[in-house]
Amino acid sequence: MYYRKSTQVPNQLFDIYLKTLSVKELKVLLIVIRQTLGWVDSKGQRKQRDWMSQKFLSNKTGLSRKSISQAIEMLVSKQLIVATTEDKRELRYPSDRKGQEKVFYGLTGSLITLLPKPYYKNTQDPSTKGNTTKLTYTKLRQQEARFNESSVNNVKKLDEIIQKRMWE
């Protein structure tokens, strides 16, 4: 199920790569996952790649720019992330990335799995004209609360009816 304000992390990260990654590699990898798999467009598609500057990665991870560069180099060499230019030309080596105006980062096939698409329910309410509504965790909780509230009210009413009949 898709939960709003959350990011699905591929199981391979935990099952295979977690033991072999350094802290700085893990931090950078998690930011790449957040900036790609963590975003869903209106068609339910996840980002394949995103532009991230050294400064952005440094601010998000708390690492120095040198540590960021080292982590990116290792993640690219381990084929966990791919660095590309705006026109999708691959940048495998630090010398390729150096001086580039924009570098886009994304996950490679070794980490990408067929993550489930966000769940959408079709509303039958004519006032919405058949638009789809994203069913989020908050909405599910609200529906559950309304259901529980109505159940409690029904039980109370039934109790009242029973009490009245007992006194009649």
pLDDT in tens, 24-50: 999 999 999 999 888 877 777 888 889
Distance CA 91, CA 84 (A): 5
Query: Tell me: the pLDDT tens digits for 135-145?
Result: 566 666 666 66
Q: Is the pTM of this model over 0.75?
A: no
Q: Give the per-residue pLDDT at 131.
A: 52
How sure is the predictor about 151, in pLDDT bands with cuts at 50, 70 and 90? Answer: low
CATH code, 11-107: 1.10.10
User: CA 94 → CA 71, 99, 102, distances in Å?
Assistant: 11, 10, 14
Q: Give the per-residue pLDDT at 10.
A: 84
